[in-house]
Amino acid sequence: MPNVEQRITSFILETYPKARKHGLTSTSPLLESGIIDSLGVLELVGFVEKEFTISVVDDELMPENFESVERLVAFVEAKCRRNGTH
């Protein structure tokens, strides 16, 4: 799935100043490092739902899915495969 990581990384870098300050990589801990807080997770969910035409249900709002860009990309790609989108 092309550009998923790039699109998510760009959104995080544009939206969260701490991501730029910390030097975001695909394995940077988003929650642990404070790059994204609980409100930020909700913003990020809204972005991936709109950007990738998926729905994130409450059961999927686990810290593991938002632990890093790498984990988020895997989550989004799996959702898209199941939904047959992108």
pLDDT tens, position by position, 29-73: 999 999 999 899 999 999 999 999 999 999 999 999 999 999 999
pLDDT, tens only, 2-37? 599 999 999 999 999 999 998 899 999 999 999 999
Fold (topology level) of 4-83: 1.10.1200
pTM for this prediction: 0.90
Q: Where are the domains of the chain?
A: 4-83
CA-to-CA dists, residue 24 to 19, 20, 68, angstroms: 5, 6, 9
Please give the pLDDT value at position 82: 86
Question: In whole angstroms, what is the distance from residue 57 CA to residue 61 CA?
Answer: 7
